[in-house]
Chain A
Amino acid sequence: MNKNNHYDQLNHIIDVANTIILGKDHKIRLALTCILAKGHLLIEDLPGVGKTTLAHTFAQLLGLEFSRIQFTSDMLPADVLGISVFEQAANKFTFHPGPIFCNVLLADEINRATPKTQSALLEAMEEKQVTLDGKTRNLPEPFFVIATQNPSEQIGTFPLPESQLDRFLMSISLGYPDATAERQLLAANDRREALNEITACLQDNQLHQMQDQVQHIKTSDALLDYVQALLSYSRESGLFAYGLSPRAGLALLHVSKAWALLSDRDYVIPEDVQAVLPSVVRHRLQPIDPAVSKPAALLLKDVVIP
């Protein structure tokens, strides 16, 4: 019963999100999958396609605290993490938490920040805690980062190194809406207003329960065979600069589980893996052939389902 309940709620969330972000059902599902899998999401896209709206919508729907950082090249780690200020009245240092102390953090144009600031953020993302002046402070639970990145050919950016990119569980690109969605968008009222009207769909610990449930989704031997086949193909085919890491393999499996939960199933099927594979390997694989823009397509085309 619990499971069905979750399924209905998740569907409701997706339905509502679809009214805000038009014509992006698959992307919304992927983003929700990422949240269920307790991972961070990287959106690579041009400005103005609805990245912020997406992040904001999920924060609202899940009843989470939302904050946003617009990265610039002169930003310092303290601008993200927070700073201790000496207060004369109390005669001591008081910590002023930075914008990172929230549930959903939208890190806009993360590649505009200097590597120093980038790594401060990414470290906090990974550890889910911030250490400043010798004191460790936990980030709120849940903690979820949606980072956006402009396509790196733009001037004045610091592209994230591969190791840092690996910290993001998934990477998607929203892309332009299709004609119908675009028309609807243009005809309707401002999305921001609609955003303010939506209410939280989940209670306090429900998201946590769902995330727990993802852990219990079954993966059969046959499915693990398929995942392994994908991993080894990425390493041995010679089509990619370097293969998928074991961490990437775990990520793929975890995201597949979350996707299976979204499909109201308690076991993973190859279709789940295929559905999430593009967003999991997009930022992790670099095809040797520069003409290939979608590395996942190569894997899907060549790896046989055992």
Chain B
Amino acid sequence: MILLNKLQNPKVKPAAFILLAGLLLVCVPHFSHLPIWLSLVMLSLLVWRSCYELQLCPIPGKAILFILTVMLITGIVFSYHTIIGRNAGSAMLLGLLCLKLFEIKSYRDVFVIINLALFSIVINFLFNQSIIVAVTMIFAVLFLFTALISYQHNYKKLSEIQPVPIPVIKSNEKNHFSLAFKMLVQAIPFAIILFILFPRVDGPLWGLPEDAFSAQTGLSDNMSPGRISKLSNNTSVAFRVKFDSVTPPPPDKLYWRGPVMWNFDGYNWTAPSNERLAMHNFQFTALGDKTRYTITLQPHNKYWLFALDIPATLPPNSIFSADMQVLSRSRVQKLKQYTLDSYTKYQLPAINRLPMDQYLKLPANKPSNQQLSKSRDLISQLKDHSNPQNTVNNVLNYFATQNFYYSRQPPLLYDNPVDEFLFETKRGYCEHYASSFTVLMRLAEIPARVVTGYQGGEINPIDQFMTLRQSDAHAWSEVFIKDKGWIRIDPTAAIPPGNIENTEDALRINSTQKKPDKLFKKSWLTEQIKQVRFAWDAVNNRWNQWVLGYNNKQQKALFTALGIKEISWQGLSQLLFSFLAVLTAILAYIVFSNKTKESTDTQRYYAKFLRKMAKHGLDKEATEGAINFAERAAIRFPQYKSSIDKITTLYQQLRYDKFSDEKLLLFQKFVNSFKPG
């Protein structure tokens, strides 16, 4: 109740709340990366200012403000150990922006705040370029513009000394809002032209500080099975694939190769970087047709480019490593798109000249613990000396029959992870299986390595893009068998379906075994949720393909499609400025021609009045003057004579006398409130 009364207080300025709402919209997306204390401080500062606007509490004086500022800066220095760089810099700016709210003494301060807030909108895109942030920022601009217009309007009213009190109706925030909206809409053509024609360069236009890329999620270049007790269920997109062919390769071929790990110290698998040898003339025999696909890779700040085995071509600026991985020459720090050809059926050369020692290396035995002793016993039973392939099958069979479970939350493993897993816990996810399988192979003197990457992928029925999520991350093994070369073994797939704890996982894992999905019935609700997710994913994908993925290559492609073969950035700039000039000229013509806002707005509302009259059976002749019509209308509806006369008089004044905003507002009000019948 108190709040309501306060809101109705004429001293309470709605413009202030519009400004605060705009600021809130600017700040909210930042909360995901700001320290929690800073998010809370910013929120409370915004709330404090709102309470002041509602005249519920005072604002801090200069001394308190100074102390707050010092505390804020100290806090940021403690959190980030610096005040420069993307993260600390933006935290600083946003915090100070919220503090600036308590320094409003004149209109100038308000305008400073609004300008800073507009700048902070740009900062948001340094962190997140998703469609949600973009839409939120559009609303933020809308609110900030409305606040700007409202403040400007009040400012004008105060500075103008009006000799005669004219019947001004109170300036209306709704109108300011629609004006701000109109301004945004008018800016759209400019934005489109700038977007399409602004010369794109290969690298980023300006350098971002290093910390801008620190917190990307994704695969890592080391793996420690048993150290993490819970597999995260991160459904964020890793990359999207569009196959040229109508049907994608079968699920058992959908292994997207990422980092290959071969160095094992008993706990950790790592992929030492010195192994990255470019292999220019990699030889293999293709057994089937090649598959062409385009990958849109989310930035992960690593060098890996994912590919199906075995790529026949390489994207530009990339290399092919000795362990068959495609690597970019520079870190993938923004959305990257590349097209590849892969042969999913292949025969590797029987003899590989690589030294095999590294793929047989086992962790050195320490006297303190008897690492791998049980595994050694096991493999001596399972090993087939004459045929390594039999050894592989025996081990897989061991996984299938000895009560192994697939679990997202396996027990932790300590001193002897491989043995503990194989003989005690028997619960784990892909990393556990890949790791222990590889170790068993090495114990059997079969060269083996762990391959990480993504497996499977979900085809979005809406746009036929295949999506690979972080939760699709997978680890499997590769063994080297003489005469066959490296072959892929996925030990996780050996687990019987009944031993998988989670239905979704069972579906995913068994998809590689081509078992029918019908085993697992899905509820109607999950099906619906899935459909919504598909749709949302398709939208996100379009956003990625068309907006974020619009680079110089696509710009070139666009111009080629338009018949312009070669266009330099100078040409683009010329084109850009000529388009902008033409657009400005068109807008100027619209603004300055006689069909101005004034006459059109007046006419629009008068037409609304006429429609209302027409509903009651009284039509105005096109050749009839407004006053003549009003006289006719007053005879027909004497009870509305006064409103009809008011509307008509205002219409005549607006259209044929001097136009004024105040009169237009009054006119709009009368027309809107006119309700005959």
Contacts and interface: CB of A to CB of B under 8 A. Distances in A.
Contact of B658 (A218, A302, A304): A218
B633 to A, nearest CB: 14
B594 A301 contact: no
Contacts, number: 45
B625 A271 contact: yes
Interface in A205-251: 218-223, 225
A65 interface: no
B133 to A, nearest CB: 45
B462 interface: no
B656 interface: yes
Contact of B599 (A218, A221, A271): A221
B594 A225 contact: yes
Given A222-B599, A225-B594, A305 B656 contact: no
A303 interface: yes
A189 B414 CA distance: 132
Interface in B643-662: 652-653, 655-658
A220 B599 CA distance: 10
Contacts of A300: 623
A303 B623 contact: yes
Contacts of A222: 599, 655-656
A302 to B, nearest CB: 7
B656 A274 contact: no
Contact of A269 (B623, B624, B626, B658): B626
Given A225-B594, A271-B628, A220 B656 contact: yes
A267 interface: yes
B104 interface: no
B656 A301 contact: no
Nearest to A304: B622
Nearest to B653: A267
Nearest to B648: A269
B627 interface: yes
A302 B621 CA distance: 10
Interface string B593-634: 010000100000000000000000000001111111000000
Contact of A305 (B594, B599, B625, B653): B625
Interface string B243-261: 0000000000000000000
B610 to A, nearest CB: 12
Interface string A274-306: 100000000000000000000000001111110
B656 A269 contact: yes
Nearest to B659: A220
Interface residues of B, number: 15
B599 to A, nearest CB: 6
B625 A270 contact: yes
A268 interface: yes
A219 B658 CA distance: 10
A293 B523 CA distance: 84
Nearest to A221: B594
Contacts of B594: 221, 225
Contacts of B624: 305
Contacts of B626: 269-271
A123 interface: no
B627 A269 contact: yes
Contacts of B599: 221-222
A267 B657 contact: yes
Nearest to A225: B594
B657 A220 contact: yes
A79 interface: no
Contacts of A301: 623
Given A221-B594, A222-B599, A225-B594, A267 B656 contact: yes
B655 A302 contact: no
A268 B625 contact: no
Contacts of B653: 267
B622 to A, nearest CB: 4
A147 to B, nearest CB: 31
A271 B627 contact: yes
Interface in B182-197: none
Count chain A CB atoms within 10 A of each CB in B622, B626, B655, B658 and give the residue with the most.
B655
Contacts of B656: 218-220, 222-223, 267-270
A264 interface: no
A218 B622 contact: no
A223 B656 CA distance: 6
Nearest to B593: A221
A222 B655 CA distance: 7
B655 A220 contact: yes
Contacts of A225: 594
Nearest to A222: B655
Contacts of B652: 267, 269
A274 B629 CA distance: 13
Contacts of B628: 271, 274
Shortest beta-carbon contacts, A-B, top 6: A271-B625, A304-B622, A267-B657, A221-B594, A270-B625, A220-B656
Interface of A: 218-223, 225, 266-271, 274, 300-305
5 contacts: A218-B656, A222-B656, A274-B628, A300-B623, A302-B623
Interface of B: 594, 599, 622-628, 652-653, 655-658
Given A218-B656, A218-B657, 14 more contacts: A218-B658, A220-B655, A221-B594, A267-B653, A267-B656, A269-B627, A269-B652, A269-B656, A270-B626, A271-B625, A274-B625, A274-B628, A303-B623, A305-B624
